[in-house]
C-alpha cells in the first residue's frame, strides 16, 4: 500500500495541487492541503481500501482539511468566516469529475507561474517547483545556481501573485501570444526533467513527459501557432525513443546503441507531421529547429545513416537565433561526428573554459568520450570522474562508473 500511495503521489500530486489551488485560492494553503490529504490517505487507505477515484478523494480531503486548519488557527471572527464561506461556496462536487476542468487546472497553473508581472527567473523556478514537484536543490542543480537563490525566487513569485492578486486562469485568447514564449519554455522544462531526470533512480519520469505532451496538445488547441506545433513535434520525437533508452535492469542505453525497432513509430509519424506543419507556417522558431534535429535521428534507419552535417547546420541556425551553452555543447558533439573527436574536444574545452557549463556533468562526460575515442585513457578517466562527481542520476552514475572501470582495466593492460 505504501508503494501504491507513493506511485499516486508521483503521478497525480501535481494535478491534485493544481485543482486545490483553484479551489482554495492560495498556493501555500493548497500545498499544505496536498500534504495533509496524502497523510490522510496513508492512514485511511490501508484500512478502508483505495477509493475508486483517488484523485477526487485527495482533492476533497485536502480541501476539507484546509478549512479545519483555518478554524483551528484563527479566532472565529468575520474575516475567517468569509474565508471559510468562500472555500465552501466555490466548490461543487461535480467539479472533481469534470475532466475538462481538471485538465485546464494544469494550464491555469502554468499561465499563473508565467504571468508577466513575475520576474522570468522566478517564473521558471516556481514552475518547476509547482508543476514538476522538484525540490529546491534539484532546481538549483538544473539552473546551476545556489539553492538559497532558488528558494528566494519561489518566495518572491508567490508574494507577487498574492500582492498583485494575479488571477488563477488561462488568459483570454488575445492575451495568449504575449505569454506564449514563457509558457512554451515551462512545458519544455517539464519535458526535459521527465526525459532525463536531474536526480534519482530512473532515467525517465514518464509522468512528466506524458504531462508535458498533454499540455502541449491542450495549448495547440487553444492557440494554433507554429512554435506550439514545433514544440509538440520535438516532444513527440524525443519521447518516441523512451522505451529504447533503458536496459531491463534500468541501465542507460546511448542513442547509437538503441534498438530502433523499440521506438514508438506512431509518435515518430505524428512528430514528423507536426514538424512539417510548423516548417510551412511562418518563421521557424527554436523548438522547430530542435525538432528538425530530432527528426534527422528519427529518419535514420541506423546510426551510421544519420545526416550529421545537416544536424550541424540546424545547430548553427539554432545558435544564431538563440545563443545557449547547452546548444553549443550539443553542436560540438555533432561536429565531432563529422570532423572527428579532436575537433569536438577543442570545442568542448572552449565551452568549459568559458565557465557556464563548468558544473554541468554532461559537458565533462562529452569531453571524456572524445578523449576515450582519441585513446587518451588517463585524461578520459579524469574527465569521467569529474562528470561522476557532478551527476545526481543513478543510471548515469552507473554508466560513468562502467566507463571508468573499462578504461582503468585497459590502462592496466
Percent of the chain topping pLDDT 70: 91
Integer Cα distance of 187 and 127 in angstroms: 9
pLDDT, residue 279, reads 92
Instruction: Report the sign of the C-alpha dihedral through residues 311, 244, 357, 117, in that order.
Output: positive
Number of H helices, E strands in the chain: 19, 0
362, pLDDT greater than 90: yes
More confidently predicted of 305 and 193: 305
Average pLDDT over residues 345-362: 95
C-alpha cell at 292: 528538425
Q: Which of 91, 88, 41 is nearest to 68 (CA)?
A: 88
Average pLDDT over residues 236-258: 91
100, pLDDT greater than 80: no
- The DSSP code sequence of 153-168 is HHHHHHHHHHHTT---
Integer Cα distance of 13 and 237 in angstroms: 27
Alpha-carbon separation of residue 56 from 41, 46, 60, 92, 254 (angstroms): 12, 18, 6, 12, 40
Is residue 227 within 8 Å of residue 288, measured between CB atoms? yes
What is the DSSP code (8-state) at residue 240? Answer: T
Average pLDDT over residues 200-208: 82
Is residue 5 within 8 Å of residue 70, measured between CB atoms? no
Integer Cα distance of 95 and 91 in angstroms: 7
Q: Which burial class, exposed, middle or buried, applies to 368 when counting CB atoms under 10 A from its CB (0-12, 13-18, 19+)?
A: buried
pLDDT, residue 202, reads 81
C-alpha cell at 356: 557556464
Q: Which range (82-86, 131-135, 280-284, 385-389) has the least confidence?
A: 82-86
What is the pTM for the complete model shown?
0.80
CB-CB neighbours of 223 under 10 Å = 15
List, for residues 35-92, the tens digit of each pLDDT value. Answer: 999 999 999 999 999 999 999 999 999 999 888 877 776 654 545 455 444 444 444 4
179, pLDDT greater than 90: no
- The DSSP code sequence of 191-206 is HHHHHS-SSBS-S--H
Integer Cα distance of 404 and 409 in angstroms: 9
Amino acid at each position: 500500500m505504501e508503494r501504491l500511495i507513493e506511485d499516486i503521489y508521483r503521478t497525480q500530486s501535481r494535478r491534485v495541487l493544481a485543482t486545490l489551488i483553484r479551489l482554495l485560492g492560495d498556493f501555500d494553503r493548497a500545498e499544505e492541503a496536498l500534504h495533509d490529504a496524502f497523510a490522510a490517505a496513508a492512514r485511511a487507505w490501508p484500512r478502508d481500501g483505495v477509493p475508486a477515484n483517488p484523485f477526487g478523494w485527495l482533492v476533497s480531503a485536502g480541501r476539507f482539511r484546509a478549512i479545519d486548519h483555518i478554524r483551528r488557527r484563527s479566532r472565529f471572527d468575520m474575516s475567517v468566516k468569509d474565508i471559510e464561506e468562500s472555500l465552501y461556496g466555490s466548490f461543487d462536487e461535480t467539479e472533481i469529475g469534470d475532466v475538462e476542468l481538471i485538465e485546464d487546472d494544469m494550464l491555469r497553473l502554468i499561465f499563473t507561474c508565467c504571468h508577466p508581472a513575475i520576474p522570468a527567473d522566478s517564473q521558471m523556478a516556481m514552475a518547476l517547483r509547482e508543476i514538476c514537484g522538484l525540490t529546491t536543490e534539484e532546481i538549483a542543480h538544473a539552473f546551476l545556481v545556489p539553492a538559497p537563490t532558488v528558494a528566494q525566487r519561489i518566495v518572491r513569485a508567490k508574494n507577487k501573485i498574492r500582492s498583485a492578486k494575479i488571477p488563477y486562469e488561462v488568459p483570454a485568447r488575445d492575451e495568449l501570444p504575449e505569454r506564449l514564449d514563457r509558457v512554451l519554455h515551462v512545458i519544455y522544462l517539464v519535458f526535459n526533467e521527465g526525459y532525463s531526470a536531474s536526480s534519482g533512480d530512473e532515467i525517465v519520469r514518464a509522468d512528466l513527459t506524458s504531462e508535458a505532451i498533454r499540455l502541449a496538445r491542450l495549448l495547440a488547441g487553444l492557440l494554433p501557432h507554429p512554435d506550439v506545433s514545433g514544440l509538440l513535434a520535438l516532444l513527440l520525437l524525443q519521447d518516441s525513443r523512451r522505451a529504447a533508452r533503458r536496459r531491463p535492469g534500468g541501465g542507460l542505453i546511448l542513442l547509437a546503441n538503441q534498438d530502433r525497432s523499440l521506438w514508438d513509430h506512431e509518435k515518430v509519424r505524428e512528430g514528423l507531421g507536426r514538424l512539417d506543419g510548423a516548417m510551412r507556417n511562418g518563421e521557424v522558431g527554436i523548438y522547430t529547429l530542435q525538432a528538425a534535429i530530432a527528426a534527422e535521428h528519427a529518419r535514420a534507419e541506423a546510426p551510421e545513416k544519420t545526416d550529421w552535417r545537416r544536424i550541424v547546420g540546424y545547430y548553427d541556425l539554432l545558435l544564431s537565433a538563440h545563443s545557449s551553452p547547452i546548444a553549443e555543447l550539443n553542436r560540438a558533439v555533432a561536429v565531432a561526428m563529422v570532423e572527428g573527436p579532436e575537433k569536438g574536444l577543442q570545442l568542448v574545452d572552449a565551452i568549459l573554459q568559458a565557465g557556464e557549463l563548468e558544473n554541468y556533468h554532461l559537458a565533462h562526460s562529452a569531453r571524456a568520450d572524445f578523449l576515450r575515442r582519441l585513446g587518451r585513457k588517463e585524461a578520459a578517466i579524469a574527465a569521467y570522474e569529474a562528470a561522476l562527481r557532478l551527476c545526481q542520476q543513478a543510471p548515469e552514475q552507473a554508466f560513468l562508473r562502467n566507463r571508468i572501470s573499462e578504461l582503468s582495466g585497459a590502462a592496466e593492460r
